[in-house]
Structure 1
Amino acid sequence: MGGCCSQEQIQEFPDEFEYKNLVYLDITSVYGSQINLLAPDNVYKLPSPIKQLNHNCFLSNMPIKISGSILPGMDFRSGQTKICQDDYICFIHNNCIICVLCDGHGSEGHHISKFAVEYIEKYFKKHFSKFRHDPKSVLSEMMLKCDKKIIANMDCDLSGTTAVVLLIDGGIAYSASLGDSRAIIGTLSQIADVAHPRVNKYFRRITTDRNFKAIPLTQDQKPEHNDEMMRIRMSGGIVEKYTDAFGRNVGPYRVWNKDGTGPGLAMSRSLGDKVAKACGVISLPLYLDRAITIGKDQYIVVASDGIWDVMDNIEVINFIDKWKGKCDSIGSDEYPAVLSNSSISRLLCEEARYRWYGVAEQERVAIDDISCVVMSFTIDECKDSVIAGEGETKLVKLEGSTDFTNCD
């Protein structure tokens, strides 16, 4: 089982136990009786991290350490690794950092998230001067055009992706988001945010020596939110939870057509999802910008809901602050995953997966894909950074490529 402490310790001290070290294994045992009936051998080999990124740079006189990682999901009901539908890219272009993270859904979600990441990368490079002139309008235009390309060229009736696009330019973070992938910034504060304990026997309290607030750079777009619900209803859609054979509400609120037969989308904005677009789901992103204060703002985290479904915003920031100074500067995909061979982004994904064991047991569901990009503005970690000047420094290049001959 992943983690550094025994199950008995977690159950006996759920509010007081604080772990002192990190050890994550790639073999885990699942204790839930419902899952045991499906998999009597009770032992699973977990997928290794993919598309890892580790890089130091200076950007507009800001030292930045960047790492990224993806852990593919796992379906305990079948004992099989899921097709990973998370994707991301992070690169420097003309002294700016661009980070794109997508979390696909539906049968074609992995193709759509990959398409979106690659489309946005090329769009940035082709129209970069426009972003500096009017970032809000151009980010919105880019997302809308990406959605049109997906609908015109891909099988996306019941498939789509979330998207978070983060542009850091001149000490300002600009973000545009669709769905429930999220970006936050961890900033030092006199009064710290407090995490809420979860009903999960794999929950572990995270503390750090410094006080932080976790400030959202995006806003989740859920169909039950007032403005989103009003738009959906005015478009003829319905916002309700799924109802099982016994008439019980199950899971989150979802978007349905007037007949209640589909699409059942659990977000109110996305790329793709052609059927849901007829029910009021849109691809116009929510926008936010915020100045980065060096010395006070310490971390930016962009991640899929594989992180946020099991960890509070402040837990993520506290986890990074607690362990990042002890992590390996390069990182690997070796197991057991420990501080000496892992980046902070990989360890954050491993911790989230550890907590997903409890969700899998309680709700009889698969472990979600888990992805994140972590940016640290801590000066003492960036002594070996390179200078990012004119032109481009590639931080990570995803496998494969797409020829966007009409990327306008």
Structure 2
Amino acid sequence: MQQHLLSRYRHGSVSLAFGVIPQDVLDETFKTKVVGHTHGLITEGQQHGDERERVMWGNIPLDPPPLIACQKGCKGFKDTSPNQDNFSVTHFKSGYTLICTFDGHGPFGHIVSTRTVQTVPWFMVVESGFDKDTIDEAGIEKALINAFEKAQSDVVAHSLENDWDVQASGSTAVAALFKGNKVWTANAGDSRCAIGTEADKKVVFETEDHKPQTEKEKARIEASGGEVRSQTYPDGWVNHRIFIKGKDYPGLCMARTLGDQSVKDYGVIATPEVLLTTVDLSKKAFFIIASDGVWEFLDSQFVVKAVAKKIQSDGPAKTLEKLQREAKKRWKAEEGDYCDDITSVLVQLR
């Protein structure tokens, strides 16, 4: 399918609205148009548990600062696969901060996640005025949706220019834009943001995972010519996957993603769900924004309660370390030697 897309592109029946954004243009924007930016780099030869290397420009002037853990999983004996999770933190001149946690899948999922954790904030700057000193809150939802959708167009163009297959490679995506007591979340797929407070130790808000069996997601997929097939295993677990109707591919288990071009005409959209949450700062609000490596076996209430307790007793850095260890422990108990990549970012709102 990628070869067919490439052929159509070369013969002019597929056009791109814009060319691929060069890496040096991305870098220059983060160096000169924002206060600070960091994201993870693609690193070869990492072992299970290794932290992703990162690049940093400027600074993130938040107190306390966001804390990031992005650790490679283990996909089998002598695993040489890359960490497919990635993250970015961007602090804009207006005082807003954007956190992205993206979880790649498929043969080139690491390229999708690494590319889009950069292009989502880039489009916020270049097309939605986030290089300015002030931001109109009324335009934030539109800005986030535009950034995700343009990042989708860019990653398809990037695959054509650099000859990698975006048909069955993609990434889930969750982003949180915050300032003061307001948090806007934008998510596509099953990476998740959970907001809680140290005072109540309860979930204030969590993003909704976009699964194929969810009524509104399934209805859109089926109306677009896709189908959701369900398989029940002997232990009672039911697996739901998305296929092009009448075909045996791609078998995707998320209803919204970046990348995954083979099903973009069949109801799997890149458009995020954007919601605003207003928190009570007097209760020491915080959020965890993490990949499925955390949420697969830990629910939001467990994580929020554990984080709220540990921050008070051990501090934020050790709290994040404990969360990563607990996620690994659950993978070991449930899946043996297989462990997904695990990424979490802890933000204390002040």
Q: Say yes or no: TM over 0.5.
A: yes
Shift of 1:251: 5.3
Measured in 2, the distance between the counterparts of 1:325 and 1:296 equals 13
Measured in 1, the distance between the counterparts of 2:297 and 2:77 equals 22
Shift of 1:181: 0.3
Measured in 1, the distance between the counterparts of 2:269 and 2:48 equals 36
**Greater share of helix:** 2
Paired letter, 2:302: E
Does 2:150 align with 1:145? yes
Q: Secondary structure at the match of 1:280?
A: coil
Match of 1:357 in 2: 332
Q: Secondary structure at the match of 1:356?
A: helix
Q: Deviations over 1:367-395 (max 9, x none)?
A: 10000100124x7xxxxxxxxxxxxxxxx
CA RMSD of aligned residues (A): 2.8
Q: Deviations over 1:193-252 (max 9, x none)?
A: xxxxxxxxxxxxxxxxx64221334211111011111111111111113579xx998752
Measured in 1, the distance between the counterparts of 2:243 and 2:151 equals 24
Match of 1:158 in 2: 168
Query: Which is bigger in relative contact order (C-alpha 8 A, separation at least 6)?
Result: 1
Match of 2:339 in 1: 367
Shift of 1:51: 4.5
Match of 2:27 in 1: none
Contact kept? 2:60, 2:91, Cα under 8 Å: no
Query: What is the aligned counterpart of 2:268 among 270, 278, 281?
Result: 281
Shift in CA distance, 131/117, structure 1 to aligned 2, threshold 3 Å: farther
- In structure 1, runs of 5+ residues without a counterpart are 1-44, 189-209, 330-341, 380-408
Paired letter, 1:93: F
Contact kept? 1:180, 1:267, Cα under 8 Å: yes
Query: What is the aligned counterpart of 1:48 among 39, 43, 50?
Result: 50
Does 2:122 align with 1:117? no
Shift of 1:148: 1.1
Contact kept? 1:186, 1:214, Cα under 8 Å: yes
Match runs of 1:8-407 below 5 Å: 46-51=48-53, 57-58=61-62, 63-75=63-75, 77-80=76-79, 82-94=81-93, 95-126=95-126, 127=128, 128=130, 129=132, 132-154=137-159, 155-187=165-197, 211-242=200-231, 252-327=239-314, 343-361=318-336, 366-377=338-349
Contact kept? 1:165, 1:177, Cα under 8 Å: yes
Q: Secondary structure at the match of 1:222?
A: coil
Measured in 2, the distance between the counterparts of 1:120 and 1:131 equals 18
- In structure 2, runs of 5+ residues without a counterpart are 1-46, 160-164
Q: Secondary structure at the match of 1:144?
A: helix
Q: Secondary structure at the match of 2:282?
A: coil
Match of 2:19 in 1: none
TM-score by length of 1: 0.65
Q: Secondary structure at the match of 1:261?
A: coil
Measured in 2, the distance between the counterparts of 1:352 and 1:74 equals 13
Measured in 2, the distance between the counterparts of 1:232 and 1:248 equals 28
Q: Deviations over 1:327-379 (max 9, x none)?
A: 477xxxxxxxxxxxx54323211210011101213xxx7210000100124x7
Measured in 1, the distance between the counterparts of 2:185 and 2:124 equals 14
TM-score by length of 2: 0.75
Contact kept? 1:73, 1:81, Cα under 8 Å: no
Measured in 2, the distance between the counterparts of 1:131 and 1:248 equals 51
Measured in 1, the distance between the counterparts of 2:60 and 2:313 equals 16
Contact kept? 2:201, 2:308, Cα under 8 Å: no
Match of 2:42 in 1: none
Shift in CA distance, 248/46, structure 1 to aligned 2, threshold 3 Å: closer
Q: Deviations over 1:115-171 (max 9, x none)?
A: 001112322332315664411111111111111111222121001011112111343
Q: Secondary structure at the match of 1:232?
A: helix
Shift of 1:67: 0.6
Contact kept? 1:163, 1:178, Cα under 8 Å: yes
Shift of 1:83: 1.5
Contact kept? 2:48, 2:71, Cα under 8 Å: no
Contact kept? 2:202, 2:305, Cα under 8 Å: no
Tell me which moved more, 226-235 or 293-302.
293-302
Measured in 2, the distance between the counterparts of 1:328 and 1:318 equals 14
Shift in CA distance, 170/322, structure 1 to aligned 2, threshold 3 Å: closer
Contact kept? 2:172, 2:258, Cα under 8 Å: yes
Tell me which moved more, 276-285 or 343-352.
343-352
Q: Secondary structure at the match of 1:80?
A: coil
Aligned residues: percent identity? 27
Shift in CA distance, 212/327, structure 1 to aligned 2, threshold 3 Å: closer
Q: Deviations over 1:308-331 (max 9, x none)?
A: 1111111111221222245477xx
Measured in 2, the distance between the counterparts of 1:227 and 1:49 equals 37
